[in-house]
Each structure stands twice: as structure tokens, then as C-alpha cells.
Structure 1
Amino acid sequence: MITEKDNVEIRLLLFGKARDIVGLEMLKEGIPRIITVKDLYTIIFEKICPPLLSIKNSCILAVDHKYLNICNEEEIVLNENSEIAIIPPISGG
């Protein structure tokens, strides 16, 4: 059972369209230390940043500079102050 003490504070970095939608470059949030990639996507897009749900399927998450695959069912271990980046598709000309 995950308790409050099993949570870590992470830095959620927002880029491009994600930053424009939320209106912030960075958020700090407490989330479980041990979590599946799929659950991490759910927490970020449904609980922390619900305005980003419309672009969820086109965004990539990176934890401490390592890209995650949403189809990955494995657990990852987060550290206090881990950086999680929300990277939307890049467009422009």
C-alpha cells in the first residue's frame, strides 16, 4: 500500500504547447516514488494537468532526461526532485 510517505516531490517541466495551455513552465507535485509509466501518464494528464488531456496522446514524457514509452507496463522509481518533462509535438516553419 502506498502511503503519503512513499511520495516524492517531482518537478514537472512543461514545453511548447503544453506550457501555453497550462500557462506555467514548471510545477512541483508529490507523486508515488514507485509507479508504472502508464500510471504516471494518468496522474500527470488526468489529475495534475487535466487541460492537457486533449494533447496527451501526442505528448512524450521524459524522466530525468530519459524518454518513456506509454505502452511500458514496468515500474519506474522516482527520486526526490526528479524532473519529468512533458514534451508535445514540435511544429513550426
Structure 2
Amino acid sequence: MDAGTVTCRLLFFAKARELIGRSEQSVQLPRTINTKELEALLFGELAPELGPIRSSCVIAVGQEYVLPDQQLTLSPGIEVAVIPPLSGG
């Protein structure tokens, strides 16, 4: 593993899980990354199947929603969640 990367748990919920066909995967991500870079990785090379719902998803890191342009420092094993809007009743 590169010293500048960490192994993270990527979690998929609801429609994201349905589109990608799994609920989680282990991924290598840069230790420091901003929200825009993280989204580009998530919806680009890591989970391109999520393209159709990208604009409506929110991202949570360590069980906290991230803000646009937020600088993140990821720790080994941290959870990165892709959360689409929920519907139903």
C-alpha cells in the first residue's frame, strides 16, 4: 500500500446498492482528498454504474455528511457511504 493511500470501506445504500449490485467494497483512496476529488473517483473509476443518480446522491465519510469542497483526511478502515435520496412510505 502506498503511504499516501488508505484502505476504506465503500458502502452503497438503496438505489446505489441496486445499481452497483453490492452493498460494500474495500477500496484504496488517497489519505487526503477533497469532496470533489472523492466524488470524481467514486462516480468515475470506482462505481461508474452510479452515473445516473450522481447529482442526487450525498456522500458521508465516517458517518458524517461531507460538504462541497470540504478537505478530508481519511483514516484506515473509515466508511465512505454513497447515499441516494430515499423514497417510499
**TM-score category, normalised to shorter length:** over 0.9
Unaligned runs of 5+ in 2: none
Q: TM-score, normalised by structure 1?
A: 0.90
Q: Secondary structure at the match of 1:10?
A: strand
Q: 2:84 aligns with which of 82, 88, 93?
A: 88
Identity of aligned residues (%): 36
Q: Is 1:60 the counterpart of 2:61 in the alignment? A: no
Q: Which residue of 1 aligns with 2:26?
A: 28
Structure 1 residue 22, shift from structure 2 partner: 0.5
**Normalised TM-score (structure 2):** 0.94
Unpaired runs of 5+ in structure 1?
A: none
> 4+ residue stretches of structure 1 with deviation over 2 A?
none
Which position in structure 2 is the counterpart of 1:38? Answer: 36
Partners of 2:40 and 2:10 in 1: CA distance: 14
| Length, aligned pairs only | 89
1:78 pairs with one of 71, 74, 78: 74
